[in-house]
Structure 1
């Protein structure tokens, strides 16, 4: 559908640009989100390898670039949108700390929260969009019910075949004595 071909790249462009900025200037990203520094430092300290907050921001930025590119190109768009949703959630909260602000600053943060939430809604729609194809759950359910119908039909046919085989066996057994008599007469007639 044409709408998807336009909407996905538009939605993805925000994340590609944001990811590019994070990869090139991770310190500026951390400064932009001052509430994120303690969380990033704590995450870096708990990691099994030596990490810095800047490296974590760069890695998240690279993930945004890749996922945004995939979403924009329509390659695995549901998975890409899901990854972007997970990466965007912490940003929504960290970038808009309205609970700490008052007056005009609080209004700005609330407006930012609404904007970021709208983008999050777009990502959720993209993650759920099956592009007109049935979902995996629907396909599995349909396959399960179809195979159950096939098993039931096969069982009916097997039952009918067994019944016909029993009848044929009985008829064959009933004719055996007559055939044996004929064979006996043939043998005795030739001797």
Structure 2
């Protein structure tokens, strides 16, 4: 459908653009998210495996790679539901790390961060829709239930009462 061919690249564009920007200035992005990461890692101490990277620059680069890769996949229609899910998984911590309006006292800056937070919440809504979009085909759940009913009818026809 033409709508998906237009909507997916539009939705994906902000993630691709943001991922490229994060790769170009990984150090700057890392400084912004470092307080959030430190708080988060303190709260989950002993829960995360040792192999999970904790360096903010590395995490920014991983997040940027996810945004670029999943954004390109969504834009081109390759595994769009998975791509949307990955972008959503990237958007939530990014939003919590970079738009912490509840910590800001200065009214103008606070209002700007509220606006960015709400914008990201709106993007999350679009990604949720894209995650659930089956492209006009029945969902896997529907197909599974239908297949089970057909199998049950066939078994009733073959097996004696």
Report TM bin, short chain. Answer: 0.7 to 0.9
Matched residue, 1:166 = none
Contact map agreement 2:53 2:59 (CA 8 A) in 1: no
Would you identify which runs of 4 or more consecutive aligned residues in structure 1 move more than 4 Å? Answer: 39-43
SS at match of 1:35: helix
Give the Cα separation in 2 of the matches to 1:50 and 1:82.
Answer: 22
Greater helix content: 1
Alpha-carbon deviation of 1:114?
0.8
Structure 2, unpaired ranges of 5+: none
The change in CA–CA distance for 1:89 and 1:153 in structure 2 (over 3 A counts) is: same
Structure 1 runs not aligned, ≥5 long: 160-191
Give the aligned partner of residue 16 of structure 1. 16
* RMSD of equivalent CA atoms: 2.3
Q: 1:143 aligns with which of 125, 144, 147?
A: 147
Provide the residue aligned with 2:116 in structure 1. Answer: 112
Which is bigger in relative contact order (C-alpha 8 A, separation at least 6)?
2
Q: Which structure 2 residues correspond to residues 1-191 of structure 1 after superposition, within 5 A?
A: 1-33=1-33, 35-39=35-39, 47-48=50-51, 52-102=55-105, 103-155=107-159
| Number of equivalences | 156
Contact 2:11 2:126 in 1 (8 A): yes
**TM-score, length basis structure 2:** 0.86
Deviation of 1:31 after TM superposition, in Å, equals: 3.1
Return the TM-score normalized by structure 1: 0.73
